[in-house]
Amino acid sequence: MIGFGLRLAVAGGREALTRLVIIAAAVAVGAGLLLTTLAGVNAVNAQLTRYASLHPTASTGGTADPLWWSTRGDYFRGEQIIRIDVAATGPDAPTPVGIPKTPGPGEYHASPAMRQLLAANPADQLGDRYPGRDVGTIGPAALTSPDALLIIVGGAPDEVAKLPRARQLTSIGDNTPALPETVVNLIMGVIAGGLLFPVLIFIGTATRLSAARREQRFAAMRLVGATPKQISMIAAAEAAAAAVVGTALGFVLFFAFRGHLAAIPFTGMRFFTDDMSLGALDILVVALGVPAGAVLAARVSLRRVRISPLGVTRRVTPRPPRAYRLIPLALGVAVLAFALVHRPPTADGQTAVFLPGLLLIMAGLILAGPWLTMMGARAMARRASRPATLIAARRLADNPRAGFRAISGIMLALFVTSVAVGVITTIVANRGPAPIGSTDAGTLSTVFTENPPSVPDTVLTDLRAVPGVRSTTVVRENPALGNGRDPGLVACTDLPPAYGRCADGVTVAEVPMNLIPFEQPASSTRVWPAASVTFDELQRLPVASIVVGTDASAAALERSRTVLEVAYPTEFWVAPNVPGDFEADFANQVRGWQQLAHVIIIASLALAGCSLAVSVVGGLSERKRPFSLLRLSGAPVRTLRRVVLLESAVPMLAVAVVAVGMGFLAAQLFLKAQMDYTLTAPGGGFAAIVIVGLAACLGIIASTLPLLERITGPETARSE
């Protein structure tokens, strides 16, 4: 039977060969994208693991000489630089990953991107922060991305030991990597699901191509004595042949374009090509799962033949879907709403609630889709004023499952990307950098978290000599913290007018560390509350921070940052920063996820469009005789084209609205429960992508319409 099935698949005429080629091509595209998704997840995990290795925990076991290690953050024009200070205490001390030898005092290793940055900018803006000699390049084993800005600076043990968060290591690379937090888990899980579901739907749709035609052929075999088991074997062999060829081509496509895919900054950073790898489990899942899925789809498409060989000819109206299909959708929303009241305290616990809730909504949309299609079709039938509208509405109402199957991939693609883009847009809006040109954007502050230093006049003089610096302010610690009091104190005579003023008769005011109130912009009209200390007492308090007001130019900010880092090389673990530096780095990472979400929606809509095209072509082939009879009875071709267009376009646009609405609802529930944010509507880019994607799907439908006239000629109307 297997040999006979393969012979039918290859030597069954032009129709069979065309179907085989189309199915193989569809499976190749789907398998290639599936492999890309799995490799992309592995690449992201590799990035996260390397990032965790830059912040190791202390390890003092073993007999090796310890290595002093301190990781600090630095910034340059909105880009984050990771600085690692190391010092070997003996010849057996471990060597950091990615370099051949631990640098000594006055030496440093830099990543390729960091070396380019140092060479391209003046030393007083960047290079003076890292005095010493460049002794080599950091290898990929220590870098999260080819674009990573990393520098490993050598020092004396007693100097590095004084740095903030310094620790001793007797081994390198054996620390457990930090897992991504809830937001990253959510976005990665939803995005991966958003691509996997359309891929599987595409493969399933392709393998069902000409299902009705094959049902008739297999039913004829049953009538001449073939058993259900033999029919299933023939169908499985035919589907498996195309799926195996397509899966093999999918592997070829993936490895052929892996380097180009790695170079695309899907997450805001490029991947190393080797990180886009596949594990043994990934290969087995695709190599065995895709053909198995194709065989399963073929068996499902022949369910009527297995009942009886005459079951194919009994074209009865399927039972309409019931409203109970909405239950999983409601349960998914209820799970997310439950998290508003009972949010798990841990990241893993939150992921265990939010991700299943979203997956339940996705499954609910698939189950509820036929019911929604039926209700929309009935509403369209009641308002139909043209024959084409009535025919399309009646067919959708009679078999809503078949009508929804063609657009289910579009519904999932839009839901997934609506959730991802809604979450990402809101996070960026709430945690983005300060507006360009504002006082906040030009305010550079240094917060001393350990060993508060003195501030000699030479430091303030050097800062004031930088072109573009408008003010320098020393903020001291507030001994009366708590009860809503700000953590810093400043003399009213030293308070720059751009940051507010003191009340009349007040000499010392309570202010934030960077003179900018939390989640509010700086204002010259703000009146700061009076402090309980006198001016003389203020001078004896430890220094909490130095705030430099600039014209917000990049040169002024970076020169001021360099002056402060050179003057205080060991007093802080986060470099002098502008409000929004940390937020800008976080926002850049999140924008990378947003870019990935846009890529996914384009790929998902493309897959859904291909599934739609295959479904429309398959539907035309299966209904060419009824359409031919309609033409013989006087129906013009344009009416039949309008029927086909309405059958696909109307439910597609309807489910698009439902999917986007449910996506934004799920995003709002997650944001409110997780971060107490209110959903920020995505910008025009998201709307443009959705509109262009839906327009492309309509174009795909329109491209199949010329086939209608060719396959519905009078010769097709004969009885078979």
At residue 179, the pLDDT reads 38
pLDDT, mean of residues 28-41: 82
Angle at 710 between CA 27 and CA 642, to 5 degrees: 85
User: For residue range 203-248, what is the model confidence (pLDDT) as tens digits?
Assistant: 666 655 555 556 666 677 777 777 767 776 776 777 778 888 889 9
Domain boundaries, the chain: 1-55+196-316, 67-169, 440-579
Q: How far apart are CA 455 and CA 124, in angstroms?
A: 21
Q: Write the pLDDT tens digit of every residue in 647-672.
A: 888 888 888 889 899 999 988 988 88
Q: Rounded to an integer, what distance in angstroms lies between the CA atom of residue 201 and that of residue 694?
A: 18
pLDDT at 181: 46
Question: Which pLDDT score is estimated for 95?
Answer: 92
Contact in structure between 211 and 238 (CB atoms under 8 Å): no
Q: What is the pLDDT of residues 371-397, one digit of tens each?
A: 988 888 888 888 888 888 888 888 888
pLDDT in tens, 91-118: 899 999 999 999 999 999 999 999 999 9
**Cβ atoms of residues 635 and 641 within 8 Å:** no
More confident residue, 404 or 473: 473
* Percentage of the chain modeled with pLDDT above 70: 77
pTM of the model: 0.71
Question: Across residues 475-492, what is the average pLDDT?
Answer: 82
The DSSP H or E segment spanning 501 is strand 501-502
* pLDDT beyond 70 at 154: yes
Winning range, highest mean pLDDT, from 476-480, 555-559, 630-634: 555-559
Helical ranges in 180-313 per DSSP H: 182-207, 211-223, 228-262, 280-301, 303-307
- Phi, psi values for residue 24, rounded to 5°: -65, -40
Q: What average pLDDT does this structure show over 339-356?
A: 71
Contact indicator for 403, 651 with CB cutoff of 8 Å: yes
Residue 178: predicted pLDDT? 40
